[in-house]
Structure 1
Amino acid sequence: MRVLHTSDWHIGRLLYGKKRYEEFEGFLTWLAKTIQLNGIDVLLVAGDVFDTSTPSNRAQELYYRFLCRVASSSCRHVVIIAGNHDSPSFLNAPKELLKALDIHIVGSSSECMENEVLVLRNEQDIPELIVCAVPYLRDRDIRVAEAGESIEDKERKLIDSIRNHYAAVATLAEQKREELHANIPIIGMGHLFTAGGQTVDGDGVRELYVGSLTHVTAGIFSASFDYMALGHLHVPQKVNGSETIRYSGSPLPMGFGEAKQQKSVCQIDFHNKAASIQLIDVPVFQKLERIKGDWNGISNRILELSATTPQGWLEVIYNGSEVIGDLRERLDSAISGTQIEILRIKNNRIIDHMLGQIHKEETLDDLDMDDVFKRCLDVHKIPEEQRLELFRSYHETILSLYENDTQTE
């Protein structure tokens, strides 16, 4: 049996206001061809199909056309779970209709965990694979809040709930395998951030659980899983060096920080229950590049690109010693007559000059949201003993806003 693992499509995502539908269409067309050419039997999509909870009509069209194309191919099953960017109710809405095409959607967790344990059968109705399709587990879905509990209690209960959820679906899968008297593989799916996971600047990957990021370890996954297909992190990577616990990564660079990554999807071949993994490189559908340096370095690189890359999108970060007030005009002149577009310009010297350096050798680009919040606490002279609780409350507020983005109730 041959399985393909992908995730984090983020269909509809903009890049500094630039629509990317041609890239998404290019990827989905390539993926459908790859499925057919490589004889893929099962496709797994580990969350974040869309970039928002209310995808545009164009984004939906690309998604459903792809599913119809795959349903009519040699691929026997598609399993899709929701990620933190997806609306569970939106994904689930056509669930029963898609099931008739052997496309299985798990948009949200439920009290009946059997809904997440799927037995996939071949054309002869013989069981060939069990998939534990665990969607993004929202805090409110798996942890019951109690009055008076401490932050530490909340974190412990959250991690215990995640671990227990995966243990429960693994146990159900083992029971089903025994009942079927079939020596078939069990695959786990999930959308979460495991400890030690690699991210890059500007990829938009969000922390999922307040204060618990470093505590969600690979140890929560049952040894019953012959392969673990994960989503959420955009960098293709193994978890704790394991060949069979992987993030496929996003197929398109979500920002300029990912521009130099080789994107891929994971092909898993099963021989009985033993899995062998091969990465399939995803082509580049739109050239992105971050150019950083002084004016000579930037202008020379643009000249090189104009000769080799007809339709590149650039982010330019100027950090030369000279203060250049007309950087935009110079850049417009440099790309004149080419099809290169500059989507973002960061003139660090102007920023430093206008705002002043908060600390020696520090620029605004060095600060993230936590840094800004810490500076706010410093300005208001908040005592150290109060800061931990304020930071946790701040993170809870930010995560609550993110989660509200995916609700459609």
Structure 2
Amino acid sequence: MAVHFFHTSDWHLGQFFYNHSRQYEHEQFLTWLLEQIKQKQPNALLIAGDIFDVINPASAAQKQLYQFLADAHALAPHMQTLMIAGNHDSGYRIEQVEPLLEKYNARTVGVVRWKEDKTLDLDRLLQPIYDLDKNIVAWCLSLPFLRAAEITGFNEHTTNSQNAIAYLHQQLISEAKKRKTDDQALILMSHAHMQGGETSDSERPIIIGNEEALSTALFDDVIDYVALGHLHKPQKVQHPHIRYSGSPIPLSFSEINYKHQVVEVMLDPAKADETAFQFEALPVPRSIQLHRIRGELNEVFAQLKALANGEIANIDQREYIDIEYHTDTPPLPNLRQQFEDALPKDRYRLVKISRQYKNNQIQSSSAKIQLEPPTPEKLFEQIWQSKGYSQDDAVLKDFQTLVQEAHHSLEDRNTI
């Protein structure tokens, strides 16, 4: 029996981009996605984590999600929406609204749960997908972002993060094999950083037991498709059926050239040839353009003046500008205003300016004036280097682990 589904991830609802709301862009994406659902009527929609941008999303962001689920259910009542928590989400929070989600044929897995006998609650992690006649056509093995505190110390197989992750995958896949029939597909949905995945500068590092990336060896050959979330660039990982769908909108200027998409997948285990797995990338239209302007000052001004004209009345719909100018001299005090004056009126938002020194002897070419707030990692690196210490990857990894634990601690407080 064939199963037809959409794979998407990393919506980051509620994100603010240099203090500018992305709500309009997300509205446009969700409206487009609803039209795809209406036209193609998939059996399931898989959202592979980072549904929200922060663990305590604003009410407007939550409303966007629940309104979307209601609208999707109205357009395709048979379609199941299966979601997992990412590292930006509160797993406990998104599970709290299960009664609401059930009304819209939606389910979420926020955390890995254990039974009293210290075995995994596999029923929650293994979700059936049905066709129009209520036949099971696939099983979705749902693994949210795996936090060390939630997967270690439960039995002899979970003494550390590495063997706990291997144990989780082995147990889940083993149970899925028992339940599936020959004509049912197996889909594994996971929010993780896989080895070989290409990152952008907007993705928060995932550090689990000092391991930055997981191996595709965790996935048994019996798995027909792996729906990944976390990395924002659409890409396969070693095999065509192991894929990141990527984010639906660019979440940083480094993602300008990404081909944002939703992956449409068709699986038919009854077929023994290459047609058993087929997929198509559905390009997501970009509602607001991002522009990176680079060069010496005269070149920057020329590029700014060459941008398209035409007023955009609503400031939340104006295009974003990132300027990096190259110079050997300190900036002029009114340079930002000069940039603003060179831009066509009421069409753009200048959100980032940085300075790149041409002469490395004056200042390192990596030194820039950034208007964006620094990350904890960047602050740590700056302080570490200011003390005269050389770069130490092991120390940085330890610090990133502490940051992850702090995020987790804050999340626990907010879910009590």
TM > 0.5 fold call: yes
- For 1:204 and 1:286, the matched residues in 2 are separated by 21
2:263 is matched with: 266
Match of 1:142 among 118, 138, 151: 151
2:44 is matched with: 42
1:33 is matched with: 35
Give the drift of 1:90: 1.4
1:329 paired with 2:333, answer no
Cα-to-partner distance string for 1:189-240 (whole Å, 9 max, x where unaligned): 0001011210123x133223242114x1111112221000000000111011
Match of 1:244 among 238, 241, 246: 241
Q: Is contact 2:327-2:355 (8 Å) kept? A: no
2:220 is matched with: 222
1:317 paired with 2:320, answer no
Cα-to-partner distance string for 1:176-200 (whole Å, 9 max, x where unaligned): 114xxx5110100000101121012
Change (3 A) 1:374 1:184: same
Greater CA drift, 324-333 or 83-92: 324-333
1:51 is matched with: 53
Give the drift of 1:163: 1.7
- For 2:36 and 2:51, the matched residues in 1 are separated by 18
Give the drift of 1:84: 0.8
- For 1:257 and 1:388, the matched residues in 2 are separated by 23
2:117 is matched with: none
Q: Is contact 2:245-2:261 (8 Å) kept? A: yes
Give the drift of 1:299: 1.6
Paired residue secondary structure (1:307): coil
1:150 is matched with: none
Q: What amino acid is the match of 1:252?
A: I
Cα-to-partner distance string for 1:109-164 (whole Å, 9 max, x where unaligned): 11112210011223422111111111111111112299xxxxxxx9x931221122
- For 1:283 and 1:71, the matched residues in 2 are separated by 23
Q: What amino acid is the match of 2:170?
A: A
Give the drift of 1:104: 1.3
Greater CA drift, 42-51 or 370-379: 370-379
Report how many aligned residue pairs link the two structures. 389
Match of 2:83 among 71, 74, 80: 80
Change (3 A) 1:371 1:138: closer
Give the drift of 1:374: 5.6
Match of 2:278 among 276, 292, 317: 276
- For 2:103 and 2:329, the matched residues in 1 are separated by 64
1:177 paired with 2:180, answer yes
2:205 is matched with: 206
1:90 is matched with: 93
Give the drift of 1:297: 1.9
2:122 is matched with: 113
Greater CA drift, 370-379 or 119-128: 370-379
Greater CA drift, 157-166 or 25-34: 157-166
Paired residue secondary structure (1:233): coil
- For 2:30 and 2:304, the matched residues in 1 are separated by 30
Change (3 A) 1:2 1:318: same
Change (3 A) 1:62 1:347: same
Paired residue secondary structure (2:309): helix
1:188 is matched with: 188
TM-score, L = length of structure 1 = 0.86
1:197 is matched with: 197
Give the drift of 1:301: 1.7
Paired residue secondary structure (1:195): coil
Paired residue secondary structure (1:337): coil
Paired residue secondary structure (2:37): helix
Greater CA drift, 372-381 or 159-168: 372-381
Cα-to-partner distance string for 1:291-350 (whole Å, 9 max, x where unaligned): 121122212222222337953211111123454313202112112523211011113459
Q: Is contact 1:236-1:246 (8 Å) kept? A: yes
Q: Mind listing any 5+ residue stretches in structure 1 that lack a counterpart?
A: 147-153
Q: Is contact 1:210-1:392 (8 Å) kept? A: no
- For 1:252 and 1:315, the matched residues in 2 are separated by 17
Structure ranking higher in helix proportion: 1
Q: Is contact 1:192-1:208 (8 Å) kept? A: no
Cα-to-partner distance string for 1:56-113 (whole Å, 9 max, x where unaligned): 1111111011001111223521101111111112111121332243211111111112
Q: What amino acid is the match of 1:132?
A: L
- For 2:399 and 2:99, the matched residues in 1 are separated by 40
Q: Is contact 2:127-2:140 (8 Å) kept? A: yes
Q: What amino acid is the match of 2:306?
A: E
2:367 is matched with: 363
Match of 2:141 among 127, 132, 138: 132
Q: What amino acid is the match of 1:207?
A: I
- For 1:73 and 1:333, the matched residues in 2 are separated by 47
Percentage identity across paired residues of the two chains: 24
Greater CA drift, 74-83 or 228-237: 74-83
